[in-house]
């Protein structure tokens, strides 16, 4: 009976570690996509130090889970106590780190609000100054997603630096102008009319809404994946310790 229980525990341990291995691969894939994606998501992340740090943490956690899932599978199949103990301790550390990251994300969630981005844009945006990282990032985002400002073109009425640099001649920056196709290399429909704020020639929708709608599904998916990974890690730790104690 004890041997059957140990065998069952071993295979359950293998299954849970296989899912950890897959979860780590998914997190690693998402982290790499965020860092190299050409559609503009990288620029959004780069605009906020908290987000870029989160992307690197995602890469690190994904890589560790990928490795530890593999080690856990090997430890379960070979019934190696050293590997199982090593696995348990590292999964515990990762579990606590992920839990801490989730708590910090909840505490600092106000940094991702519409009001926060609007305040930063109106305070720091400098128009077509590509030497300024903040402005260049926003230009890339607006061109990529075909949007203007955080809430819409009206944001630039209150962008003090932008208004000063353009001598209040331009209502919106060139990045807000409609292009055909809507890419950085696209042809402006009418630059002059757009800069004067003519609705027909500029993108009227705010970037906050556009980006939220674009990535809403992915955000919920990522949240569900994170909860699933935490649950699997918890069960894997339990099975690892039970298997460790059961091996003679």
CB 9 within 8 A of CB 242: yes
Mean pLDDT of 133-155: 91
Mean pLDDT of 119-124: 91
CB 64 within 8 A of CB 203: no
Q: Give the bridge partners for 188, in sequence order.
A: 179
The four Cα atoms 41, 160, 131, 116 give a dihedral, to 10 degrees, of -30
Query: Of 58-62, 92-96, 152-156, 234-238, where does the model show the most confidence?
Result: 152-156
Residue 4 clears pLDDT 70, i.e. is over it: no
The answer to whether the bond into 206 is cis (omega within 30° of 0) is: no
| pLDDT range class, residue 236, cuts 50, 70, 90 | confident
Who contacts 173 (Cβ-Cβ below 8 Å, separation ≥6)? 125, 127, 128, 139, 142, 156, 162
Pairwise CA distance, residues 193 & 177, whole Å: 9
Residue 59: predicted pLDDT:
79
Mean pLDDT of 105-123: 80
Q: Give the bridge partners for 177, in sequence order.
A: 202
- Residue 187, φ and ψ in degrees, nearest 5: -85, 130
Who contacts 131 (Cβ-Cβ below 8 Å, separation ≥6)? none
Residue 50 clears pLDDT 80, i.e. is over it: no
| pLDDT range class, residue 56, cuts 50, 70, 90 | confident
Residue 248: predicted pLDDT:
60
- Residue 150, φ and ψ in degrees, nearest 5: -85, -45
Pairwise CA distance, residues 236 & 90, whole Å: 12
Percent of the chain residues topping a pLDDT of 90: 23
150 DSSP assignment: S
Percent of the chain residues topping a pLDDT of 70: 85
Pairwise CA distance, residues 147 & 183, whole Å: 12
Q: Give the bridge partners for 187, in sequence order.
A: 180
Classify 50 in phi/psi space as left (phi over 0), alpha (psi -120 to 50) or beta.
alpha
Residue 215: predicted pLDDT:
75
Mean pLDDT of 68-91: 77
Residue 46 tokens, joined: 């780069």
Mean pLDDT of 145-163: 93
Mean pLDDT, the chain, whole residue set: 80
Residue 239 tokens, joined: 């099975």
Residue 46 clears pLDDT 70, i.e. is over it: no
Residue 227 tokens, joined: 């909860």
CB 87 within 8 A of CB 241: no
H or E segment at 117?
helix 114-124
């Amino acid at each position: 009976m004890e041997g059957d229980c140990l065998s069952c525990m071993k295979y359950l341990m293998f299954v849970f570690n296989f899912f950890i291995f897959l979860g780590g691969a998914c997190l690693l894939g998402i982290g790499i996509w965020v860092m190299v994606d050409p559609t503009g998501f990288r620029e959004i992340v780069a605009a906020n130090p908290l987000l870029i740090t989160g992307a690197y943490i995602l890469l690190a956690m994904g890589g560790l889970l990928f490795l530890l899932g593999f080690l856990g599978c090997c430890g379960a199949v070979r019934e190696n106590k050293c590997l199982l103990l090593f696995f348990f301790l590292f999964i515990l550390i990762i579990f606590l780190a992920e839990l801490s990251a989730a708590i910090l994300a909840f505490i600092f969630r106000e940094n991702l609000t519409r009001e926060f981005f609007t305040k930063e844009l109106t305070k720091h945006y400098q128009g077509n100054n590509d030497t300024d990282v903040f402005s260049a990032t926003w230009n890339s985002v607006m061109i990529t997603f075909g949007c203007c400002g955080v809430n819409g073109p009206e944001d630039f009425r209150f962008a003090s630096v932008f208004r000063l640099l353009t001598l209040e001649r331009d209502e919106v920056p060139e990045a807000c102008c409609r292009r055909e196709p809507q890419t950085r290399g696209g042809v402006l429909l009418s630059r002059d009319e757009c800069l004067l704020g003519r609705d027909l020639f500029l993108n009227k929708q705010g970037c906050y809404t556009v980006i939220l709608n674009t990535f809403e599904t992915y955000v919920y998916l990522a949240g569900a994946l994170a909860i699933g990974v935490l649950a699997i890690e918890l069960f894997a730790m339990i099975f690892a310790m039970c298997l460790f104690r059961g091996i003679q």
